Structure 1
Amino acid sequence: MTPLTTPAPRAARPPVQRVVRVAGRRPVGDYVELTLAAPEIAERAEPGQFVAFAVGGPTSGLLLRRSIAIATARDGEVSVVVSAAGPGSTWLTERQVGDTVDVVGPLGRRYPMPPPGTPALVVGGGYGSAALLGLTAALRDAGSAVVAVVGAATAGRLCSVDDLGELAEVVVTTDDGSAGQRGWVTDAVARVIGRAGIVYACGPMGMLRAVAEQATAAGVPSYVAVEESMACGIGVCMTCVLPVVGEDGRTRFSRSCTEGPVFGGDRVRFADVGTLPWDVVGADAMGVVQP
């Protein structure tokens, strides 16, 4: 049996809150990429972390921040890819060059790096692929050969294919066959996982579960960046908790924003997400009984 992966490491430097200028904006398929002039955040950011935006403007009733994964952080700038899913994220996609935004970051734990030269597989679903750019660059710089599997429902929902292509060998899949190979990312993962010494993934929860299970079955360690809603981003509101197996083998509810968003793929109890398992630490105090 493959031993459980170790927890993702904590960030080396604390986050900052800043009002920063939008330095760049461009469409990326069905999404929008924003580039922020944020040198203090850029110098602190590590692959796998995220930033949290105040949305709606100073008089808005949208009180909760929107957490978005960092795509790249270099030369004093931070880029993010935003999907217009609701009022807050739609407001973000409407920002133009020269506008300012209030942002906190970098937040969360980073992807752990393998020993130098370890061949790696990165798997992205939809705009989650953007969050793998910084990681893929770091892996390449450390001597790893990287294969990137990028998938989405349709061609328009793909993201960062060209940018990843400059760093890694890329395999593209779409559910409807409108780009790359027809099928799911897991079909492509099954074909290339034998070449990997470690697997990383970012995307929808169903995809993360499937990729983590494939990696575990192949005896390969995996790390996933979950996409749970992180309303506060700093571990206060408890809206983003997941059942995660600790180093002692016991399950606890872990906050995606502070203990994550990166977790060992074999530590997240995906089948129990959204439920209260009977064996989670503290469940007895809530009257949960063993089935």
Structure 2
Amino acid sequence: MKGQNGHSGALTAPAAKAEHPPVQRVAEVVGRRPVNAYTELRLAAPEIAATAVPGQFVAFAVGGPLSGSLLRRSIAIAGTGDGVVTVVVAAHGPGSTWLAGLQTGDVIDVVGPLGRPFPMPAPGTPALVVGGGYGAAALVGLAERLRATGSPVTAIAGAASADRLCSVEELGSVADEVVVTTDDGSAGRRGWVSEPAAELIADVGVVYACGPMGMLRAVGELATAAGVPSYVAVEESMACGIGVCMTCVLPVIGEDGRSRFARSCAEGPVFGGDRVRFADVGKLPYDLVGADAMGVVAP
């Protein structure tokens, strides 16, 4: 089957909806530690920890009760257990920098779990998980869950430099093999994660990835070319986290072969790697459903 955008029929089905509705609560920071260039926060949020599954995220109100920051910051869940939710924060703008500065004993308003999780393969399916930078943290719980169902797991963790790597030890504790890459060669293999992924992809039955959009595109294209289903957790700015504001839309191929804008927070953040039109992210393609009504014409 050919879609309007010329892509062949998709290998992967859409991620399933979350089984449990999100909750909003004030959570206490019960632990924090530096993780290379990032900050790991542990939050007492038992209602969220009890229902969250790998691939989902939480949304934080940032800046404190008197802050002028109206929009929440969405962060992937890195782990759950004993009523605690763990996230890894990369300080970029004012909101994430404020989050990274939280100390043990501080409290914060949080909503979660949000988004659609990573679909699980048939038990025993060999899996490859690929993480870029702090995106690797979101794959630890997935690797644990895969191993629990009998799936062999190979992990690749990459970053620009050694100080930008994340969760390598945690992945090593659950994966059968971990390959480390850095762009500058300061740790592991010099180069991008796509290079070892290309070498390993023929031996697995499913691929998962979380990290920068360029990395997700490369991994998804490798998997599609090899005929292997893939699922990617996209990195888009999610201002509301619940699908209202429409700021996180990106073009995604539907099951009918036609492309539509999908909300990363509600229909994602996990999508089939062969369904996201990465080359058109940030654009309004002429063949998108509804584009004609906005006056967009074919080139």
Q: TM-score, normalised by structure 1?
A: 0.99
Kept in 1, the 8 Å contact 2:194–2:219? The answer is yes
**Alpha-carbon separation, structure 2, partners of 1:141 and 1:18:** 30
2:11–2:228 Cα contact (<8 Å) kept: no
Aligned counterpart for 1:54 among listed residues 30, 49, 61: 61
Residue 136 of structure 1 is matched in structure 2 by 143
Which residue among 245, 269, 279 is the counterpart of 1:271? 279
Partner of 1:93: 100
**Counterpart in the other structure of 1:190:** 198
Q: Does 1:110 align with 2:117?
A: yes
- The equivalent of 2:268 in structure 1 is 260
CA-atom RMSD in angstroms:
0.8
Q: Report how far residue 107 of structure 1 moved.
A: 0.2
- SS state of the match for residue 44, structure 1? coil
Aligned residues: 291
- 1:282 maps to amino acid: G
Within 2, Cα distance between the matches of 1:167 and 1:285?
50
Counterpart of 2:209 (choices 201, 205, 212) is: 201
Aligned residue identity for 1:256: S
Instruction: Return the letter of the residue paired with 1:277.
Output: P
Alignment of 1:73-88 (within 5 A): 73-88=80-95
The structural deviation recorded for 1:74 is 1.4
SS at match of 1:166: helix
Could you list the runs of 5+ residues in structure 2 that have no partner in the other structure? 1-7
Q: Give the Cα separation in 2 of the matches to 1:2 and 1:191.
A: 25
Distance in 1 of aligned mates of 2:212 and 2:158 = 11
Does the CA contact (< 8 Å) of 1:2 and 1:216 recur in 2?
no
SS at match of 1:206: helix
1:281 aligned to 278, 289, 295, which one? 289
1:147 maps to which residue?
A: 154
Match of 2:13 among 6, 15, 26: 6
How far off its partner does 1:2 sit? 6.5
Q: Which residue of 2 aligns with 1:230?
A: 238
**Contact 2:58 2:75 survives alignment (8 Å):** yes
Q: How does 1:32-51 map to 2 (within 5 A)?
A: 32-51=39-58
> Matches of 1:71 and 1:195 in 2, distance apart?
26
Q: After alignment, is 1-10 or 122-131 more displaced?
A: 1-10
Q: Matched residues in 2 for 1:171 and 1:2: separation?
A: 31
Bigger CA drift: 135-144 or 186-195? 186-195
Q: Is the 8 A contact 2:62 2:72 kept in 1?
A: yes
Task: Tell me how far apart the structure 2 counterparts of residues 4 and 160 of structure 1 sit (CA, whole Å).
Answer: 29
TM-score, normalised relative to structure 2: 0.96
> Post-superposition shift, 1:163?
0.4
The answer to which of 113-122 and 73-82 deviates more is: 73-82
Is residue 10–residue 255 contact of structure 2 (8 Å, CA) maintained in 1? no
CA shift for structure 1 position 44: 1.1
Matching of residue 18 in structure 1 with residue 25 in structure 2: yes
Give the drift of 1:3: 4.0
**Deviation string, structure 1 residues 220-278 (Cα, Å, up to 9, x no partner):** 00000000000000001100000000111110000000000000000000011010001
Percent identity of paired positions between Structure 1 and Structure 2: 75
Partner of 1:31: 38
Q: Give the AA of the match of 2:213.
A: M
Code of the residue aligned with 2:229 in structure 1: it is: P
Residues in 1 aligned to 2:179 and 2:211: alpha-carbon distance in whole angstroms: 16
Counterpart residue identity of residue 260, structure 1: G
* Post-superposition CA distance 1:139-178 (Å, at most 9, x none): 0000000000000000000000000000001000000010
1:245 aligned partner, one-letter code: I
CA–CA distance in structure 2, aligned partners of residues 229 and 41 of structure 1 = 22
Partner of 2:228: 220
